[in-house]
Amino acid sequence: MKKFLVLLIPIIMITSCGKQDNPFFGEYDTPFGIPPFEKIKNEHFVPAFEKAMEEHNAEIERIIKNDSAPTFQNTIEAFEYSGGMLTKVSNVFYNYDSSKTDDEIAAIAQEMGPKLSSHYDEILLNEKLFERIKSVYEQMEQINLSSEQKRLLSEMYKRFVRNGALLSEESRTRLKEINQRLSSLTIQFGQNILKDVNSYRLIIENEADLAGLTKAVIDNAAERAANEGNAGKWAFTLHNPSVMPFLHSADNRELRKQMQQAFINRGNNNNDSDNKKIIGEIVNLRLERSKILGYNTFADFVLEDRMAGDVTTVMDFLKQMWTPALAIAKAEAYDLQALIKKEGHDFELAQWDWRYYSEKLRKERYDLDEEEIRQYFELNTVKDGIFMVTNKLWGLKYEERNDLPKYHKDVQVYEVLDADNTHLGILFMDFHPRDSKIGGAWMNSYRKQHVDQNGKFVSPIITVVCNFTPPSGDTPSLLTYDEMTTFFHEFGHALHGLLSDCRYLSLSGTSVPRDFVELPSQVMENWANEPEILKSFALHYQTGEQMPDELIEKIKNAGHFNTGFSNVEFIASAFLDMEYHMISEYFNEAELENVASIINKRTIEKYGLIPEIAFRHGSTHFSHIFAGGYSAGYYSYLWSGLLDADVYEAFREAGNLFDQETAARLRNTILERGGTKDAMEMYIDFRGRKPIVEPLLKQRGLL
């Protein structure tokens, strides 16, 4: 007994001193290991982050200082399991940062952001650590590893190599310089757009110029003008909620032109927020970075790590969509021109006319009443619909648990059970806007599924966060059609997390390439859009009646309206992105400022973009590729569509949208697998072949 006492003392000391009772310092003593939200205070984060980084560094040191030769266990697994505390703190903090934020959380995020990024940089550039990883990597075929272990090892090795681990000291130094410069240029790019947006106002003084706009849009513009010292006038901005209704509905053609031109010229005004020169520099630096790492172009570097795999695959796919989309867009342009003529005008359809006249045509042909549709999408009815669909597909069951910790009182907590009643995970659902939540809808995890160091299966804790129309007065939360499909979409991401059955955390759940991650989410939208399924859960919130067939039919047809335009403006931007990143020669100093116009012109001419349609995102405000993570990756949105439509087609081919064999295969080959296998291989495991474009063309009305 005494022997044990000696061991116990330090443990007691730690717990009784309590480290200021910071819940991140010990094990969570809660059901399912849910974070003890009621005990977590903002002041716990910084000390926990600091301690966690220290621990992580110590763990890395231990790996490096290990006297034994590098092995899979003492190096690869040891590195995989390192940083556990950091993951634990980050999981809570970054969820708070988006769904339970306040000034303190925002300030901590500002403070910790650079510290964390340099913490991870140090690790990725740690030569001794890389030497050990490389040594195990080189023995990969000789040692006995499972396929998942091989994947862990090769992904880990690749991550270091793609960050420059194999380069000479000199090249690595240059790489660091490039990274720093790129990081400040991309931030500048985003800020410039914001400056242009914020400084622009269309001020309307004459009430007649408001003709065509709805009362809500007009009131909003009046309020803005009044707030900005222009009482009695109307102010419009380049933010989407202001500019889009204007382009859709304002009768005054000259003002539509002004707004549209200002909108597409964000970042292109030859002022101090002009982005043209920045684009030239970014494109050159990305090329240089890729060449240092041994690639011919930036696109080659990026795509090697994606499901699509290479430039040819991406370009072939985009062209397969482009050709029919462009043909349909031309036919749409013809219809719009006819409408213009019918109204007694003789001008030619221009970019600032398309949204306006297509809106008129849409109203004439479909006239959907959003308010009528929402009556059938009460939040709880939709939730039951999702539960029903996933139950029929995989036998999943959902038990509401009011006894478990949650981070906000409005959050709903469910225990998700498998068909045989085994526990799969915990699901939080957080539906409505509040001040502490950012906009949009997303899925995230408080804990990703994995098997821990001791071989214990750790189940996932997943959250779905939305900003759906809240209930008001006696009216419950009634979702728009978009919100309804968004719910299905996010639930698909949640399933990817919940059904995950992987060994290593870094490969589990949604840890997959960017052009693959939207597959589980987008595929769920197909069930939502399916008339026979829609009918089973779209019940009127007052009468309980099913949505009428004519309304469902109308929604379906309206979905394909203007599809030529929306696909063309989107694919054109995907081409633009690729053209910037397929270059293999540097632009010279004199050309730098003209790179944007060179590439714009090249893209328009090469693919035959018609002048009536502008790029969805033009060069000088294309923040996805110049300020975000979608460079040589804007195609990903379409690629996910390719996958989801083709996966859903497998259910149609089986003759049953709930075909059990197909559902089980989808689960076994994709939903459970995380990133434990090459994405294309997983896809082929499910489909028996690579994805084909026809189902997507059909889904989008392009066939």
Nearest distance, CB of residue 493 and Zn ion, angstroms = 6
Cα separation, 95 vs 86, in Å, equals 14
Nearest distance, CB of residue 636 and Zn ion, angstroms = 11
What are the residues binding Zn ion (CB under 5 A)? 518, 521
Q: What are phi and psi of 235, to 5 degrees?
A: -115, 130
Burial of 57 (0-12, 13-18, 19+ CB in 10 A): middle
Query: What's the CA angle centered on 187, arms 181 and 190, to 5 degrees?
Result: 140
The one-letter code for the residue type at 322 is W
Nearest distance, CB of residue 633 and Zn ion, angstroms = 14
> How many other CB atoms sit within 10 Å of the CB of residue 125?
16
* Smaller CB separation from Zn ion, 351 or 640: 640
Nearest distance, CB of residue 305 and Zn ion, angstroms = 19
* Smaller CB separation from Zn ion, 489 or 616: 489
* Smaller CB separation from Zn ion, 366 or 637: 637
* Smaller CB separation from Zn ion, 486 or 600: 486
Nearest distance, CB of residue 489 and Zn ion, angstroms = 6
Tokens 């977590």 -> residue: 40
* Smaller CB separation from Zn ion, 495 or 582: 495
Tokens 């799969």 -> residue: 424
Cα separation, 407 vs 92, in Å, equals 10
Burial of 688 (0-12, 13-18, 19+ CB in 10 A): exposed
Nearest distance, CB of residue 306 and Zn ion, angstroms = 16
Nearest distance, CB of residue 679 and Zn ion, angstroms = 16
Cβ-closest position to Zn ion: 521
Cα separation, 191 vs 168, in Å, equals 35
Nearest distance, CB of residue 508 and Zn ion, angstroms = 18
Contacts 24+ apart (CB under 8 A), 538-542: 538/376, 538/377, 538/381, 538/385, 539/376, 539/378, 539/381, 540/375, 540/376, 541/375, 541/376, 541/378, 541/381, 541/476, 541/478, 542/375
Nearest distance, CB of residue 36 and Zn ion, angstroms = 29
Q: Are 620 and 265 a contacting pair, CB within 8 Å?
A: yes
* Smaller CB separation from Zn ion, 267 or 674: 674
Q: What are phi and psi of 607, to 5 degrees?
A: -105, -10
As annotated, the active-site residues are 490
* Smaller CB separation from Zn ion, 32 or 637: 637
Nearest distance, CB of residue 494 and Zn ion, angstroms = 11
Closest among 386, 211, 299, 375 to 574, alpha carbons compared: 299
Reading the block at residue 413, the tokens are: 């907590």
* Smaller CB separation from Zn ion, 487 or 504: 487
* Smaller CB separation from Zn ion, 516 or 575: 516
* Smaller CB separation from Zn ion, 357 or 491: 491
Helix (H) or strand (E) holding 457, with range, is strand 457-458
Contacts 24+ apart (CB under 8 A), 184-190: 185/278, 185/281, 185/282, 185/285, 186/282, 186/626, 186/627, 186/628, 187/627, 188/278, 189/267, 189/275, 189/278, 189/279, 189/282, 189/623, 189/626, 189/627, 190/623, 190/627
Please spell the DSSP secondary structure of 152-220, one letter per residue: HHHHHHHHHHHTTTTS-HHHHHHHHHHHHHHHHHHHHHHHHHHHHHHH--EEE--GGGGTT--HHHHHH
3-state secondary structure 125-155: CCHHHHHHHHHHHHCCCCCCCCHHHHHHHHH
Q: Are 506 and 512 a contacting pair, CB within 8 Å?
A: no
Q: Are 451 and 479 a contacting pair, CB within 8 Å?
A: no
> How many other CB atoms sit within 10 Å of the CB of residue 619?
26
